[in-house]
Amino acid sequence: MVSLSKSISRVEPSPTQAAAARARALAEQGKDIISFTVGEPDFDTPAHVKAAAIEALEKGLTKYTAANGILPLREAICAKLRRDQDLEYSPAEIIVTNGGKHALATACAVLLNPGDEAIVPAPYWTSYPDMARIASGEAVIVQTTAEQGYLMSPEALANACSSRTKLIFLNTPSNPTGACYSREQLRALAEVINRLPNRDEIVVLSDEVYEYITYDGFQHVSFLSVAPELRANSMLINAFSKTYSMTGWRVGYAAGPKHIIDAMTTHVSQFTSNVTSIAQYAAAKAYEDHGAFPRLMLKEFTKRRDLVLEAAEQMPGVSIVPPKGSFFAFFNVAELLGKSVDGRLISQARDFAEYLLEDYDVVVVQGEAFGDPQSVRISFALATDRLKVGLARMIEATKRLAG
């Protein structure tokens, strides 16, 4: 058998995608599966975005574009960053990518050398460590706790950094926990970075794809807005997938120092070429609603989050830090671990997830995928009636297991 590269051998398949695929397969067999897996809004893409795509088709805008994206889209992104974050970027400092994931992976590819370290706060979005590893870097995991609100402290960041630190991942609002950093908390992290002897070689990757989805009056603030002195050391990553329900369109972007954007453009030009032209022209119109569509979704997500919190109170052995953002809830099931049901020992989160699937037709993502073997993640970005059914099943399942 032909051997594979060492870099791909360090990477695991996406656990969230695997769980979603299993849910689809079981549903196709006729089972009434409630899938709490992939974070994908159940809303249709807004009409003004679809109309722009149709217009692009009718105009024949179906050819190759510049590798870094069409100018109208990059200009629209600059205008959005100016309006929402008071950040000034030129189109030359923007690259359009195949979703936010592609932006993050490409940044890793052009910034990391063998032995370089990437700081990854845990619980983390499952792809972060593997993105660093496939780019020949090393992931340094910084564990956070529920008591900390799943937020990395300045002390923990300082202790994790070394002379080999090259990247620092920040995700606010967070997938999987819904944790959000305040302006003061981001500023404290920036002060740590400013004091590092290798500060000028470190890049912060600020993943802000859930920026519009926050609760209880919390206002998202960008790391770049809080730490302007680190502009040359920071990349802002965003996408249209979550906030404009455009997951299948695959349009994301990065804003950052021109030499890094230029390197990412070179990488993209050799690996994927441009993002689909029609999707780019559609995305260029998305922000013209000034956030109206995300606000519409947020009203519904707020109701669903409240249903999740109410249900969690009825689940013995389960605790949760109420998410301040995103459409995920992270259930700590530590008190249920070590218990048995019908002769099956539930010793870790993946066992609990398997129990929910086999006995209650509910699919969640085990916490091991996010660096926490005592928790499971659910997405509440699904229709309210299905959400209620799934939560009721989880209540029943936890009561049975708790005995």
- pLDDT at residue number 203: 98
**Mean pLDDT, residues 272-292 taken together:** 97
- pLDDT at residue number 16: 66
pLDDT tens, residue by residue, 111-170: 999 999 999 999 999 999 999 999 999 999 999 999 999 999 999 999 999 999 999 999
What is the C-alpha to C-alpha distance for residues 61 and 53, in angstroms, rounded to an integer? 9
pLDDT category of residue 8 using cuts at 50, 70 and 90: confident
| 3-state SS string for the chain | CCCCCHHHHCCCCCHHHHHHHHHHHHHHCCCCCEECCCCCCCCCCCHHHHHHHHHHHHCCCCCCCCCCCCHHHHHHHHHHHHHHHCCCCCHHHEEEECHHHHHHHHHHHHHCCCCCEEEEEECCCCHHHHHHHHCCCEEEEEECCHHHCCCCCHHHHHHHCCCCEEEEEEECCCCCCCCCCCHHHHHHHHHHHHHCCCHHHCEEEEECCCCCCECCCCCCCCHHHHCHHHHHHEEEEEECCCCCCCHHHCCEEEECCHHHHHHHHHHHHHHCCCCCHHHHHHHHHHHHHCCHHHHHHHHHHHHHHHHHHHHHCCCCCCEECCCCECCEEEEECHHHCCEEECCEEECCHHHHHHHHHHHHCEECEEHHHHCCCCEEEEECCCCHHHHHHHHHHHHHHHHHHHC
pLDDT at 85 over 70: yes
Paired tokens of 187 = 């500023």
Report the share of the chain in percent with pLDDT over 90.
Answer: 90
pLDDT tens, residue by residue, 66-77: 999 999 999 999
**What are the distances in angstroms from CA 29 to CA 24, 50, 184, 401?**
9, 33, 50, 27
- Residue whose entry in the numeric block shows the structure tokens 């804003």: 255
**Mean pLDDT, residues 379-388 taken together:** 95
pLDDT category of residue 18 using cuts at 50, 70 and 90: confident
In the chain, ranges of CATH 3.90.1150.10 domains: 6-44+292-402
Contacts of 47 (CB under 8 A, 6+ apart): none
pTM above 0.85, yes or no: yes
pLDDT category of residue 44 using cuts at 50, 70 and 90: very high
pLDDT at 371 over 80: yes
Paired tokens of 227 = 């730490």
Cβ neighbour number for residue 313 with a 10 Å cutoff: 11
Domain 6-44+292-402 grouped into CATH 3.90.1150.10 = yes
- As a dihedral over the C-alpha atoms of residue 116, residue 17, residue 207, residue 384, rounded to 10 degrees, the angle is -160
**Mean pLDDT, residues 298-326 taken together:** 97
* The CATH number of domain 62-289, selected from 3.90.1150.10, 1.10.540.10, 2.40.30.20, 3.40.640.10: 3.40.640.10
- pLDDT at residue number 13: 72
Contact status, residue 305 vs residue 215, Cβ threshold 8 Å: yes
